[in-house]
Chains A and B, each alone.
Chain A
Amino acid sequence: MGERGILIEFQPEISEKLLEKLLFYKNKLEEFYTEVNVEVINTYNSLLISYMFSIENLYDEILTVKKLFDEAKIGKINNQQVFHLPVCYDEEFGWDLELIAEEKELSKEEIIKLHTAPFYTVYFTGFLPGFLYLGGLDKKLQISRKNQPRMKIEKGAVGIGENQTGIYPKSSPGGWQILGNCPVQLFDKNNDPPCGISAGDKVKFYSVSKAEFEEISAQVSEGKFQLKKENYAR
């Protein structure tokens, strides 16, 4: 992509198998490019080697990358973690719960159950700082986006759209159907890394009451909230 990026594309699909392959190659590339002026990012089916400045010799660079890929033998990704994130599905936050209930012929309890059951896979972060692209939404909850996006969605809002679910890390315009709110701060510019959850990790939601939400919010703003996480056992 121009003078500052090498894009490596795989077949156009969204699958954990492909993600595993991408992350493996990404690790290989990161081990090779230790200098700070090169960054490797992944999406569903692409790897982008992003250079801070123009690539000096593109052909040499592509040969180097090809060689790295040829030598690499696909292994397992290590250190996958599950992050347990609290979500308050109270009507104060769940702006579209009723609409989803009606369209999908489900009770609110059923929606919450379906939304909190899966171990969602984190494919990558994009769109906004700390916005996680999560895969694994239950088919029964798949719903089209709003025809007219909302001008403002609250920070922490948890939404669904098509086959995706996610959390808005800051207030922004958006077209997803909103189920609830997650009080945890997913992106903190003062932390290194600014976002503890990364591609390949799992996210599981758990339902909290309004009172628990308030309590967690207070702990978060005091910097005392401990995010529940554990190693992911397949």
Chain B
Amino acid sequence: MHAEVEVIHPGLFSTIQDFGRRGFQKYGVPLSGVMDRIALKTANLILQNQADAAVMEITQMGPKLKFSAATKIAISGAYLSPKLNDREIENNEVVKINKDDVLSFGKPELGMRAYLAILDGFKTEKVLGSRSWYEDITQHSKLEKGIKLLYEASEEEKYETHAALKFDNTYLNSEEIEVFPGPEYEKLHETLKSHLRQSKFSIDKNNNRMAIQLSEILENVLDPIITGPVLPGTVQLTPGGKLIVLMRDCQTTGGYPRVLQLSEKGINMMAQKRAGDKIRFLFKF
């Protein structure tokens, strides 16, 4: 039976995401997909969903949502003080939903992005092989009041699990971000290399699904490169000396030197950093 989640209040910034669009980079289409894949997998695993079932990615101030029929949900990633009706609920556990239940969020306590998974996933439109929202590709690019999100209602108990799952949430506040040297790393001066290896960097307020800027200004003497491929996790060094960590919605090509490349785990951890947080690069080579 078709059911809907109605957006009563959109919160700060939320989108529907899955693992993203594959096969369209050559047309200039960003990969998109959840910023933090660990949290997506965790939330879907708790509900025994398919690993890439579409979830809602919630940034800091969560939305207020009303469910039109019974289902189950699970929330992973950041802890944004979720409440079902008037009852506080926990992350990383199955929460039963009845018709007309209202889910809301409170104070962002830990991490940057929470993931709301629903039984069988959100059934919003699939464009170019993915349900991930991106401006001009999907109908919506962020949650707005009145939007209705489709899901399949489920009354019956599909299964009962008694196995307790334990999740390691330490990645949410770890300062160490795994990186590899990027294609232009070797062109850097030794002093800048050791700076990258040893110093702490802070997350700038200029950060979104496309890129996260770091606040520190470095001395950059590298010239721009001939426009070349970039990926989520590529760290660019701008002519002004700023480090920009490209994230899931990044463009497919770029002209700034690519000094570092985050590991998959590094990208997931970066996705949970807030403005002002400190990080250190942990070199894997």
The residues of A with any CB-CB pair to B shorter than 8 Å are: 1-5, 7, 9, 12-14, 36-37, 39-46, 48, 50, 52-54, 124-131, 133, 169-170, 187, 189, 193-195, 198-199
- Asked if residues B28 and A129 are in contact (CB atoms below 8 Å), the reply is yes
**Additional A-B contacts beyond A52-B20, A127-B28, A128-B28 (7; CB < 8 A):** A2-B231, A13-B226, A39-B26, A42-B26, A44-B228, A129-B136, A195-B27
Let me know if B19 is at the binding interface, CB within 8 A: yes
B128, B183, B231, B253: which contacts A9 (Cβ < 8 A)?
B183
Known A-B contacts A1-B231, A46-B229; A126 and B253 likewise in contact (beta carbons under 8 Å): yes
- Asked if residues A45 and B228 are in contact (CB atoms below 8 Å), the reply is yes
The A-contacting residues of B in range 15-36, CB under 8 angstroms, are: 19-20, 22-29
Residue tally, chain B, CB below 8 Å to A: 33
- Asked if residues B136 and A125 are in contact (CB atoms below 8 Å), the reply is no
Q: Nearest A residue to B30 by beta-carbon distance?
A: A129
- Interface of chain A: mostly helix, strand, loop or mixed: loop
B24, B180, B233, B252: which contacts A194 (Cβ < 8 A)?
B24
Q: Which of B86-94, B214-222, B260-268 contacts A (4 or more CB under 8 A)?
A: B260-268
Distance to closest chain A CB from B92 (angstroms): 23
Q: Nearest A residue to B267 by beta-carbon distance?
A: A2
- Interface of chain B: mostly helix, strand, loop or mixed: loop
- Asked if residues B27 and A193 are in contact (CB atoms below 8 Å), the reply is yes
Q: Nearest A residue to B24 by beta-carbon distance?
A: A194
Distance to closest chain A CB from B51 (angstroms): 10
- Asked if residues A44 and B26 are in contact (CB atoms below 8 Å), the reply is no
Residues of A within 8 A of B191 (CB): none
Q: Nearest A residue to B262 by beta-carbon distance?
A: A2
- Asked if residues B226 and A45 are in contact (CB atoms below 8 Å), the reply is yes
Let me know if B227 is at the binding interface, CB within 8 A: yes
- Asked if residues A127 and B253 are in contact (CB atoms below 8 Å), the reply is yes
- Asked if residues A7 and B128 are in contact (CB atoms below 8 Å), the reply is no
A-B contact pairs, 8 of them (CB 8 A): A1-B231, A2-B231, A2-B261, A41-B26, A50-B231, A125-B27, A169-B28, A187-B27
- Asked if residues B180 and A126 are in contact (CB atoms below 8 Å), the reply is no
The A-contacting residues of B in range 220-267, CB under 8 angstroms, are: 225-229, 231, 233-234, 251-253, 258, 261-264
B137, B182, B253, B262: which contacts A43 (Cβ < 8 A)?
B253
- Asked if residues A2 and B22 are in contact (CB atoms below 8 Å), the reply is no
A5 to B258, CA, bound (A): 13
Residues of B within 8 A of A12 (CB): 225-226
Known A-B contacts A14-B226, A189-B137; A2 and B23 likewise in contact (beta carbons under 8 Å): no
Residues of A within 8 A of B225 (CB): 12
Q: Nearest B residue to A190 by beta-carbon distance?
A: B127
A198 to B27, CA, bound (A): 8
A170 to B20, CA, bound (A): 21
A52, A124, A130, A187: which contacts B22 (Cβ < 8 A)?
A52
Known A-B contacts A129-B29, A129-B137, A189-B128; A48 and B229 likewise in contact (beta carbons under 8 Å): yes
A9 to B183, CA, bound (A): 9
Residues of A within 8 A of B252 (CB): 41, 125-127
Known A-B contacts A9-B183, A44-B226, A194-B128; A126 and B28 likewise in contact (beta carbons under 8 Å): yes
Distance to closest chain A CB from B177 (angstroms): 12
Residues of A within 8 A of B26 (CB): 39-42, 124-125, 198-199
Known A-B contacts A4-B264, A5-B231, A194-B128; A127 and B251 likewise in contact (beta carbons under 8 Å): yes
Residues of A within 8 A of B180 (CB): 1-3
- Asked if residues B263 and A194 are in contact (CB atoms below 8 Å), the reply is no
